[in-house]
Structure 1
Amino acid sequence: MTAAELDLAGLRNLLDRERPGLVNGPLTAELITGGKSNLTYAVTDGAASWILRRPPLGHVLATAHDMGREYRVMAALADTAVPVPRMLLPHEDPPFYLMEYVEGTVFRTPEQTAGLGRERARTISHHLVDVLVTLHAVDPATVGLADFGRPDGYLERQLRRWSQQLEASKSRDLPDLDTLVERLHSTVPRTSRHSIVHGDYRLDNTIVREDRIAAVVDWEMATLGDPLADIGLLTVYWDLSMANPHNPVGGGVTREAGFPTSDELVAYYAEQSGVEPERLPWYRAFGHFKLAVIAEGIHYRDLRGLTVGPGFDRIGELVVPLARSGLELLS
């Protein structure tokens, strides 16, 4: 998949019509690697650069790659304290959007974070949590997102959705995972407040500049719901990277680089948000369940030769440890 599959001449004509003066030369584009869903391209006229996001080629479920949804939430957050790229142009047919290019680093690998050191790694980690707390404090109605989702019953719907996904993709007996979903269903907490939820908040879905979060990106799973689901899933990615920096999911969070533990991250989130720490284990366990289901789905497709790329043949190894860690959190 290459930038050649973008219609750069058509894009130039569109920008000249909709944003006259923005482009001042022939456009070139490069596919940015790292994303496993929507495609991200760096587009430049030689003097200025922008980012174009579009769905994967040949996708079937349009709602899973909703460009308008991503565009809307970032545009709505533009005047808040949540750092997001500036939105420049939405487009419906074909679906894509253009946003500003944000300078910085996306930390995806241990090699990138190896030289940070404890102080810088902790500073980045704390600001990552600070931004999440800031996002969860935004009143959806004040930024035009009151109808962005159905917050009531969010946790129950999420559990049903991922349970159904598991049943559709199981290729083997997974008693620990079955037990985890049963316990999650029987102990769903009461949501104390609703907010904008990113849905896939982690370090490598941000751009870091000068040890601060310059922009939060990849909002394709954003909705209105229980904000604690974000911190729960963040800790799962954190623990995976800590345990195995070269796991198939990826991540540059390592002990060697000086990053704090996920428990420290949770304690800091609780301190900054005012949430009681005792409420968080269920959400962390749910994060383990959600990622285990995703991993099992990829494993199921890999067994049938339906995945392309390195690491997919190993992702099934994550499922049982994720389920067991989730059960430990609930106990």
Structure 2
Amino acid sequence: MSRCQCRCVGCQGLVRREERYRMDVHRPVELAVWGLPEPSRVRRPAGGTNNTTLILDDTHVLRIYQNLLPAEIAAEHRLLNELNQRGGLPFTVPAPRPTLDGRTVHDSMAIFPFVPGQRADESLESIELAAEALGVLDQALAEVAVELAPRDWRGSLEQIHPGVSDLEGACAELERRLGDGPGLRWFRESIGPAERLHAKLVRTLPVQIVHGDYSLWNVLVHEGRVSAVLDFEVAHLGLRLNDPVAAVTMATGLGISGAEERLAAFLRGYARSASLSAAEEEATPAMLRYKALYSVVWRIGRWRLGLSPIEEITERLADGLVLDKWLARSGWPGWAWAA
């Protein structure tokens, strides 16, 4: 794996922490810091690639962060505490348990109450439920003061991950490793136009705090309803459109076989709880492409820090190329298409 040569504090802190925690999920954890006894049963939930998560006795969840520094984790927790204090959501969002001295982060770890439920699957029913919950969540986030945004991602793609502050260098590095294939060419040639259009959109479209990673893996379903929305790790200040665009991409696999039914299910669910402006509708194809670029940048950053294999980048490049061809061939059908 590539190792990041950047000497910035963010990158080096992430590298050191990853080296400490890699594959070491059984290392001693001082649960007494949170006033908890040692668990009798520890298990891993299915899925997840960004952090290590362990379920303790089906009462608490231990999360070991790999992508954030302690100050960034604390910022995420302030947002979660605000959502929990406001109440009113028909599902749970994570509530970080304070340590005995009042902090919510200890050694880049956090404890949350366990919430029953299974990760939302790719069934049409689950997709529809998840999409409806997204509309509800984003309306709640719109009421939160923007000062509580853990980060501001209205700027360049080079803000997305601390391991990617030089997109030109990243492209050159990938070309040396992967060759100049169609996926990499799509990525390299799309960055400039996408950045310029995005800069215009953040000046004209609604901006608010958004979840930032709303996928089926981050939604729990229990007894026929959404019981929790998880993983606010990359919550940020950005376009309101970011969340539905990211979610519809991850839930439906736009451009691949079977996507049409999944897309219809998503749009039905989202329409029950939210609506977008005409300007956001018009900007959706461009933001779908921007989200595909964002996904590649995030995986490049993890690869550079040694947190992900390069194959994850090639997968995102292929996905982006498929999406781009689908948009060129079929076009975005519209958020009201399935109404």
Describe the SS at the equivalent of 1:35.
Answer: coil
Deviation for aligned residue 1:50: 0.6
Q: How does 1:1-331 map to 2 (within 5 A)?
A: 1-5=23-27, 7-8=28-29, 10-11=30-31, 13-16=32-35, 23=37, 26-44=39-57, 49-56=59-66, 62=69, 66-78=72-84, 79-81=87-89, 83=91, 84-89=93-98, 90-107=103-120, 113=122, 121-122=124-125, 124-138=126-140, 145-149=145-149, 155=154, 157-159=155-157, 161=159, 166-170=167-171, 171-172=174-175, 173=180, 174-184=184-194, 185-186=196-197, 188-189=200-201, 190-240=203-253, 243=256, 260-262=261-263, 265-266=266-267, 269=270, 272-276=273-277, 279-280=280-281, 282-295=283-296, 298=299, 306=306, 312=312, 315=315, 316-325=317-326
Q: After superposition, what is the alpha-carbon deviation per residue over 1:122-172, rounded to whole angstroms, capped at 9, x for unaligned?
A: 3x333322222222222666x5x4412399x854x0445369564342123
Q: Aligned to 1:97, what secondary structure does the other structure show?
A: strand
1:237 to 1:281, Cα distance in 2 relative to 1, 3 A: farther
Query: Over residues 91-119 of structure 1, what are the superposed CA-to-partner deviations in whole Å (9 max), with x where a residue is unaligned?
Result: 43412221111111113xxxx65xx5xxx
| Native 8 Å contact 2:39 2:56 kept in 1 | no
CA drift of 1:193 comes to 2.9
- Gap runs ≥5 in structure 1: 17-21, 245-253
Unaligned runs of 5+ in 2: 1-22, 333-339
Label 1:306 to 1:196 Cα distance change in 2 as closer, same or farther (>3 A). closer
In structure 1, distance between residues paired with 2:39 and 2:272: 50
CA distance in 2, matches of 1:276, 1:140: 15
Question: Cα gap change, 1:67/1:301 in structure 2, threshold over 3 Å: closer, same or farther?
Answer: closer
TM-score normalised over the length of structure 2 = 0.68
How far, CA to CA, are the matches of 2:40 and 2:287 in structure 1?
A: 44
Show the counterpart of 2:10.
none
Question: In 1, are the aligned partners of 2:209 and 2:240 still within 8 Å (CA)?
Answer: yes
Distance 1:297 1:274 in 2: 28
Contact map agreement 2:97 2:113 (CA 8 A) in 1: yes
For the aligned residues, what is the CA RMSD?
A: 3.9
Code of the residue aligned with 1:282 in structure 2: it is A
Query: Are the counterparts in 1 of residues 79 and 150 from structure 2 also a CA contact under 8 Å?
Result: no
What is the alpha-carbon distance in structure 2 between the residues aligned to residue 273 and residue 87 of structure 1? 28
Question: Quick one: distance in 1 between partners of 2:305 and 2:146?
Answer: 42
Of 169-178 and 231-240, deviating more is: 169-178
Deviations 1:78-102 (A, max 9, x none): 2231621343235434122211111
TM-score, scaled relative to structure 1: 0.69
- What residue in structure 1 maps to residue 16 of structure 2? none
Q: CA deviation at 1:204?
A: 1.2
> How much does 1:198 deviate?
0.2
Letter in 2 for 1:15: W
Q: Which has the higher contact order (CA 8 A, sep 6+)?
A: 2
Query: Contact conserved, 2:42 with 2:54, CA < 8 A, in 1?
Result: yes
The 1:298/1:140 distance shift into structure 2, 3 A limit, reads closer
**2:69–2:108 contact (8 Å) kept in structure 1:** no
In structure 2, relative to structure 1, the CA distance for the partners of 1:284 and 1:40 (3 Å cut) is: farther
Between the aligned partners of 1:267 and 1:279, the Cα distance in structure 2 is 18
